[in-house]
């Protein structure tokens, strides 16, 4: 059967489904069920305007020196000239003599040639003393200054009826309630007489009328790390307390569920990787079934060509990928054959030889469309001159021996 555009359709019409890769090769670690449980039920309900407001002030606090915490970024600075920079090379940045270090979860910063130094919970003065002693222990010139460049460990949350709900960082300067509300853009409530500021701290709820906050009645309220501030005019105290508890539970829920989801994804990824590695190992050892076509005749490499998974291979794929192409000197492009047996077991002696004449390069396009089936045999005939070359190669040793014998006699 000559391979023509019409006969290619006939050849490809024979039923053949490529073998599929295991499901592990098409799945990803992200195909999980996501969060496994519903978040806590909301308790927020809109309330009518209260007839009166109650003031519950938090215990007074006094300003204290800022203590370095996890997540803060401290900056070590050294003079830009002199031997100090040279001696601290590798410890502090030599380019601009300033290097930032983030306080890690264990409360330490890691400095090259000095090691890990614990400074969490210390004031700037205490941290300077700790670093000074560590530099002396490591025989490094301790000429430096310390400052905090980023404040990330102490936060106050502000929400409700404010222009810009935000998370405010506590810095070296004390943060007061009226300042935090101003930093959030002030209130959006139109009725200051009934607007309350509620402060949730360490499991207890406090509330102050907003007009008293602005008037600073009873003094300014100093905020602490972890405070949650909510400005509104429509909650009663019980509902407000329920709202804050809900926010805390929701935050805890999200952290727990996120950790569980990350563990699930990690386990899933490891399982998929193990399945893939096992399949590849079995494939390499020949323990997995695989479909092959066979390449013979005047090809670059006589071998069996593994048909790919999940897709079909063409005659051109076999000739140029599996066989390494056609040798120009020996292969006859006029006679390229694909031998295919019948799929019917009762017709096992029935063989179709699909013939491709590739002397015209355009005919090779048909080779890219001709689909190979399992157990196809691709055969490339030899050039006529190849037969003569084989004959010459066979008789040349005999002629040389005869010539030598004649010269000897």
Using one digit for the tens of pLDDT, what is the confidence trace for 257-285?
667 767 777 887 888 888 888 988 988 88
Query: For residues 249 and 303, which has the higher predicted lDDT (pLDDT)?
Result: 303
The whole-chain average pLDDT of the chain stands at: 79
As a whole number, mean pLDDT of residues 320-325 equals 81
**pLDDT exceeds cutoff 70 at 8:** yes
Rounded CA-CA distance 52/370 in Å is 87
Domain boundaries, the chain: 5-19+290-387, 73-150, 155-234
Rounded CA-CA distance 8/125 in Å is 85
Q: Which two tokens stand for residue 302?
A: 């006589």
The mean-pLDDT minimum among 146-155, 185-194, 334-343, 372-381 falls in 185-194
CB atoms closer than 10 angstroms to residue 21: 14
At residue 130 the predicted structure's pLDDT band, cuts being 50, 70 and 90, is: very high
pLDDT of residue 405: 58
Instruction: Give yes or no on whether 5-19+290-387 and 155-234 have one common fold.
Output: yes
What is the residue-wise DSSP string for 102-144?
A: E--TTSEEEETTTEEEE-TT--HHHHHHHHHHHHHHTT-----
At residue 292 the predicted structure's pLDDT band, cuts being 50, 70 and 90, is: very high
pTM, full prediction: 0.44
Three-class secondary structure of residue 373 per DSSP: coil
Is the Cβ–Cβ distance between 106 and 54 less than 8 Å?
no
The DSSP secondary-structure symbol of 375 reads T
How confident is the model over 351-363, as pLDDT tens digits?
889 999 988 878 8
Q: Could you name the CATH architecture of 155-234?
A: Roll (3.10)
As a whole number, mean pLDDT of residues 306-332 equals 87
The DSSP secondary-structure symbol of 322 reads I
Rounded CA-CA distance 327/382 in Å is 10
What is the residue-wise DSSP string for 207-234?
A: EEEHHHHHHTTTSPPBP-TT-EEEEESS
**pLDDT exceeds cutoff 60 at 235:** no
CB atoms closer than 10 angstroms to residue 255: 10
pLDDT of residue 50: 54
- Fold adopted by 5-19+290-387: Outer membrane lipoprotein wza fold like (3.10.560)
Q: Which two tokens stand for residue 112?
A: 């090259």
Residue 103 φ then ψ, to 5°? -70, 120
How confident is the model over 64-118, as pLDDT tens digits?
999 999 999 999 886 665 555 454 555 544 444 678 899 999 999 988 778 899 9
- Fold adopted by 73-150: wza like fold (3.30.1950)
């Amino acid at each position: 059967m000559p391979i023509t555009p019409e006969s290619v359709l006939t050849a490809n019409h024979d039923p053949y489904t490529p073998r599929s890769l295991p499901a592990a090769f098409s799945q990803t670690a992200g195909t999980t069920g996501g969060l496994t449980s519903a978040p806590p039920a909301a308790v927020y309900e809109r309330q009518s305007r209260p007839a009166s407001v109650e003031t519950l002030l938090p215990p007074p606090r006094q300003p204290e020196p800022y203590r370095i915490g996890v997540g803060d970024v401290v900056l070590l600075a050294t003079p830009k000239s002199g031997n100090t920079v040279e001696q601290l090379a590798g410890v502090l940045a030599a380019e601009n003599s300033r290097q930032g270090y983030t306080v890690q979860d264990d409360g330490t910063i890691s400095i090259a040639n000095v090691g890990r130094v614990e400074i969490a919970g210390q004031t700037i003065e205490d941290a300077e003393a700790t670093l000074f002693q560590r530099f002396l222990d490591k025989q490094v010139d301790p000429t430096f200054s310390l400052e905090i460049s980023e404040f990330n460990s102490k936060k106050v949350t502000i929400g409700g009826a404010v222009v810009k709900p935000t998370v405010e960082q506590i810095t070296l300067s004390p943060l007061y309630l009226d300042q935090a509300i101003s930093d959030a853009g002030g209130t959006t409530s139109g009725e200051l007489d009934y607007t309350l500021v509620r402060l949730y701290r360490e499991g207890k709820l406090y509330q102050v009328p907003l007009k008293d906050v602005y008037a600073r009645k009873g003094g300014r309220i100093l905020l602490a790390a972890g405070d949650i501030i909510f400005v509104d005019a429509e909650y009663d105290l019980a509902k407000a307390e329920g709202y804050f508890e809900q926010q805390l539970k929701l935050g805890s829920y999200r952290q727990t569920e996120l950790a569980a989801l990350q563990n699930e994804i990690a386990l899933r990824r490891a399982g998929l990787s193990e399945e893939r590695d096992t399949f590849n190992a079995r494939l390499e050892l020949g323990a997995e079934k695989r479909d092959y076509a066979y390449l013979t005749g005047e090809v670059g490499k006589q071998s069996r060509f593994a048909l790919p998974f999940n897709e079909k291979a063409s005659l051109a794929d076999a000739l140029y990928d599996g066989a390494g192409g056609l040798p120009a000197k020996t292969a006859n492009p006029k006679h390229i054959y694909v031998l295919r047996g019948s799929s019917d077991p009762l017709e096992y002696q029935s063989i179709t030889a699909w013939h491709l004449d590739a002397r015209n390069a355009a005919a090779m396009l048909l080779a890219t469309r001709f689909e190979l089936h399992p157990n196809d045999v691709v055969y490339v005939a030899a050039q006529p001159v190849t037969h003569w070359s084989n004959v010459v190669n066979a008789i040349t040793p005999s002629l040389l021996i005869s010539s030598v014998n004649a010269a000897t006699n």
